[in-house]
Amino acid sequence: MKAVAISRSVFRWCRNPTFTTRRRLLHHTSTIRMASSNGNGIAVQDDKSALSPAAYDFRSDTVTTPTPSMLQSILSIATHGDDVFQEDTTTNALESFITSLTGKPAAVFVLSGTMGNQLAIRSHLAQPPHSIVVDRRSHIYNYEAGGAAVLSQAQLLPVTPANGMYLTLDEVREAVIDSDDIHYAPTRLICLENSLNGVVMPLEEIRRIAAYARGKGIKTHLDGARLWNVVAAGGGELKEIVSHFDSVSLCFSKGLGAPMGSVVIGEEAFMKRVRHFRKMVGGGTRQVGIATAPARTAVEEVFLGGKLTRTHELARRLAAVWEALGGKLKVPCDTNMVWLNLESVGVDMDDIPVEAKRAGLKWDWERIVVHHQICDEAIDKLEDVLRKLVEKARARGSVLPQDKKRKARYSRPDEDDE
């Protein structure tokens, strides 16, 4: 009897796509409920909408989980073509959707932001010696496992912006090696990042640097993992910003919440090189529509759907609470990140995970990231945590013992954190 029931349901599962979809979505929703109620106690906002397990997690916007509509998009894919043959309709459609959205002639889906940046760098450069000017705080310089040195044999020239927010043309010009003197590695590429630490780079500065680079025959790449946030924050039109660069990488899995993937955009000939190097590093994939379908849903739902704006508003609210408590920010809160200057009120970084956990939140250092699945209740709780942290600091006289003056996570021993 049981076996019959099972085989009948399996049969229906296979035969009826709508049934399958509904069943799987139901399953997904209940999984979310179980996962989050186990983790945090409070999970279900109302009967209809379950919160993501990421609803109370402020560590990064990478922790978002695919929404039911993203999962639905995977189930609704009509074709399962091979993307190495460029025969996957869903993937081709995503790439042309991105070209129409950005105005760049060509786009290539890649598995991660790091892969996008590294392939772009590799595709711009020919033969060493060569150097790349980057922001000292950039992802390419700090968090890509030294990839540019290995994959492109490039010397990176890191520049620390004097204004603490973004590089200026004067600083870039100062760093560029524009010489055929045999002692040097001439600069062939300038990489900018926008947003960087959540801060929007002014369009005017981008224009100036891009014009200078063009005049010198130096290529430009923008690490736009969070460029969506820049556009949502009024930092320029997407088409205009990307028009200043030879290539741009944009991330689907950060603020937009897709399960994986990034995209590189640029000219056709350049993108052919990107596709070639993507294959070389093992990034050519087959029925990748299961990743590119939810990526497209993420762009439509979260970016075009205007959901990033709320994350920026909530970040500003948290920043305002911190400032009202007497705290300072390390950088302005332009988008979805709040960078707390803990020393300004003597908060001990070690207290953060403790107090956050007590409140049912995940958050562990000076950076707060708000993503689209953060719920209102999590914001209220985090405001309370900020108050508690400052109270604790005040009780200690608002000063940290010398051994508690720590470097930020990821920072190198020789780095002056301020």
Q: Which residue is nearest to ligand PLP (CB)?
A: 113
110 is a contact residue toward ligand PLP (CB under 6 A)? no
Residue placing its CB nearer to ligand PLP in the complex, 21 or 62: 62
Q: How far is the CB of 356 from ligand PLP (least distance, A)?
A: 22
Return the range that interacts with ligand PLP (CB under 6 A); candidates 28-36, 111-119, 213-221, 318-326. 111-119
Q: How far is the CB of 360 from ligand PLP (least distance, A)?
A: 26
User: What is the Cα–Cα distance from 189 to 223, expressed in whole angstroms?
Assistant: 13
Q: Determine the size of the site formed for ligand PLP (CB under 6 A).
A: 11
292 is a contact residue toward ligand PLP (CB under 6 A)? no
Residue placing its CB nearer to ligand PLP in the complex, 55 or 121: 121
Q: How far is the CB of 15 from ligand PLP (least distance, A)?
A: 38
Q: How far is the CB of 251 from ligand PLP (least distance, A)?
A: 6
Return the range that interacts with ligand PLP (CB under 6 A); candidates 36-44, 109-117, 274-282, 285-293. 109-117
User: What is the Cα–Cα distance from 214 to 138, expressed in whole angstroms?
Assistant: 22
Task: List the interface residues with ligand PLP, window 306-345 (CB under 6 A).
Answer: none
Amino acid at 397: G
What are phi and psi for residue 395, nearest 5 degrees? -60, -25
DSSP 8-state class, residue 305 = T
Residue placing its CB nearer to ligand PLP in the complex, 112 or 152: 112
225 is a contact residue toward ligand PLP (CB under 6 A)? yes
Residues 83, 88, 95, 223: which binds ligand PLP (CB under 6 A)?
223
Residue placing its CB nearer to ligand PLP in the complex, 81 or 147: 147
384 vs 245, 361, 364, 398, CA distance in Å?
A: 43, 11, 15, 18
Write down the residue that tokens 């060493």 correspond to: 128
Q: Which tokens sit at 263? A: 């995209």
User: What is the Cα–Cα distance from 172 to 168, expressed in whole angstroms?
Assistant: 6
Residue placing its CB nearer to ligand PLP in the complex, 44 or 145: 145
Residue placing its CB nearer to ligand PLP in the complex, 187 or 253: 253
Q: How far is the CB of 401 from ligand PLP (least distance, A)?
A: 33
CB-count exposure of residue 204 (10 Å: 0-12, 13-18, 19+): exposed
Amino acid at 27: H
Residues 52, 65, 92, 112: which binds ligand PLP (CB under 6 A)?
112
User: CA angle, 39 as apex, 47 and 314 as ends, to 5°?
Assistant: 70
Residue placing its CB nearer to ligand PLP in the complex, 43 or 308: 308
Q: How far is the CB of 321 from ligand PLP (least distance, A)?
A: 25
Q: Which residues of 319-358 are buried (b: 16+ CB within 10 A; e: fewer)?
A: bebbeebebebbbebbbbbbbbebbbbbbbbebbeebbee
Task: List the interface residues with ligand PLP, window 120-149 (CB under 6 A).
Answer: 139
Give the other-Cβ count within 10 Å of 128's Cβ: 13
User: CA angle, 324 as apex, 319 and 329 as ends, to 5°?
Assistant: 40
114 is a contact residue toward ligand PLP (CB under 6 A)? yes
Q: How far is the CB of 144 from ligand PLP (least distance, A)?
A: 7
How do beta strands 337-341 and 131-135 pair?
unpaired
Strand boundaries in 198-319, DSSP class E: 219-224, 247-251, 262-266
Using DSSP's 3-state secondary structure scheme, residue 110 falls into strand
Residues 57, 135, 171, 193: which binds ligand PLP (CB under 6 A)?
193
Give the other-Cβ count within 10 Å of 408's Cβ: 14
Count CA atoms closer than 13 A to 357's CA, side-chain side.
7
DSSP 8-state class, residue 57 = B
Residue placing its CB nearer to ligand PLP in the complex, 57 or 193: 193
301 is a contact residue toward ligand PLP (CB under 6 A)? no
Return the range that interacts with ligand PLP (CB under 6 A); candidates 73-81, 108-116, 169-177, 388-396. 108-116
Residues engaged in binding ligand PLP (CB under 6 A): 112-114, 117, 139, 193, 223, 225, 251, 254, 262
